[in-house]
Amino acid sequence: MSPSIRDKSFLQKYLPGHFNNPAGLAVRLIRTGDRAALYAMWTAALGLLLTPLDMLLEANEKKLHRDAEESDLPIVLVCGPSRAGTTLAEQILIASTSPAYLNNLTSLFPRSPIIANRVFSRFVGRRSEEFRSYYGKSVGLGGPNDALYLWDRWLGEGHRSAAVSPEATLDLAGMRQLFRALRQEHGQPVVNKNNHLNCCAHLVAPALPQAHFICMRRQREHLAQSLLLGRRDIHGDLSVAYGIPSPVGGPSADPIADVCRQVLYHERMAAWQQAQVGPERFWIIQYEDLCRDPKAFALRVSDELFRGTAKPAEVSELKPFEPSTRIRVTPQEHDQILRTFEELDGHEEEYWVAPGAVPAASGQSATPAQKEVRA
């Protein structure tokens, strides 16, 4: 059965994530006039038309995965809360170290991403040199893609909206095969971005021993503002979370309280993941530091993870970026964001629960198990 254009799970392959109403999202994207937003809509329509061809190529793709040999080439997985600069980090690494990566063409062929790039490589063209995107979506077939349609296959679609349960059925073997085949195809290290690995790196790391995680972190008030704007831009509804929210207490009638809890939850989650995976494999990078000195970031990854693959000319072209710090909410909303962070300081039971622990109900104290995990 062919997928319907109204099928949310199908559209998620192409459009900005976490959306509820496809028609409403389409209207909002058109109104932005943003090239990356409009490009995402175009690929959604094209992907629907190419589904039969994708299915035809799938058998060759599966054989390629089965036959691929093990590799010791490294993998870098960029993660972190939505709106924390993860796309910029990935774009900097692709521009300065020339790794293999999953491009926008793969979103048109989610069943056969590597074979499709072999067949249609002459149509891909050069990757845009612009460091820009619209909610993680880049322009051009050669632009980087989160490939969430693949991660949905390996970790389940639920990984986009909640931390993955340790009891979940995961296709880690399929994940290993794809990354093995991708490295064999290109003979290069691999970079991929998936924000939600911030909440499940501890499950992925044992299955990919060559993988390192770069988790982005952003100044609290600006991240909270951006998450609030994501609710408006993508959902058109402030009551619906953009990205993975704090699992404690559930959504409230106060969207600003929700986004502030979400920011603090991801800060605590990153620290927890680093403790599980190890600081040598799970780096926490501040967005503002990345913007201030992208050259230092690129060279560190090149020297410590990619065996010195940085391209001197491209690295020298990297200039500091201006961090997005403009206040784009109302003064009242901004003041409320600052007050909420002050009120939540030291009250982890209102936003944090470790993966696998049962959240305390809203208004209740944390369980002994949760307190032990936090300690």
pLDDT tens readout for residues 252-273: 889 999 999 999 999 999 999 9
- What confidence score (pLDDT) does residue 309 get? 81
- Give the domains, in start order, of the chain with CATH numbers: 68-102+144-227+283-325 (3.40.50.300)
Residues in the chain: 375
- In this structure, the dihedral spanned by the alpha carbons of residues 149, 246, 220 and 282, taken in order and rounded to 10 degrees, is -60
DSSP one-letter string for 34-61: -HHHHHHHHHHHHHHHHHHHHHHHHHHH
Distances (CA, A) of 259 to 76, 186, 364: 28, 40, 20
* pLDDT tens digit at each of 375 positions of the chain: 344 434 445 445 545 555 555 666 656 656 666 666 666 766 777 888 899 999 999 999 999 999 999 999 999 999 999 999 999 999 999 999 989 999 999 999 999 999 999 999 888 877 667 787 777 778 888 999 999 999 999 999 889 889 898 778 999 999 999 999 999 999 999 999 999 999 999 999 999 999 999 999 999 999 999 999 999 888 888 998 999 999 997 778 899 999 999 999 999 999 999 999 999 999 999 999 999 999 999 999 999 999 888 888 889 889 999 988 889 899 999 999 999 999 999 999 999 988 877 665 544 433 333 333 332
- What confidence score (pLDDT) does residue 11 get? 47
Angle of helix 255-277 relative to helix 331-344, nearest 10 degrees, comes to: 50
- What confidence score (pLDDT) does residue 26 get? 57
Task: Give the C-alpha separation, 49 to 51, whole Å.
Answer: 6
Task: Give the C-alpha separation, 355 to 246, whole Å.
Answer: 11
Neighbours of 121 (CB within 10 A): 12
- What confidence score (pLDDT) does residue 8 get? 47
Q: State pLDDT tens for residues 132-171.
A: 777 777 888 899 999 999 999 999 988 988 989 877 899 9
- What confidence score (pLDDT) does residue 5 get? 36
- What confidence score (pLDDT) does residue 170 get? 94
Q: Which helix (H) or strand (E) segment is 282 a member of?
A: strand 282-286
pTM exceeds 0.95: no
Beta strands in 141-245 (DSSP E): 190-193, 211-217
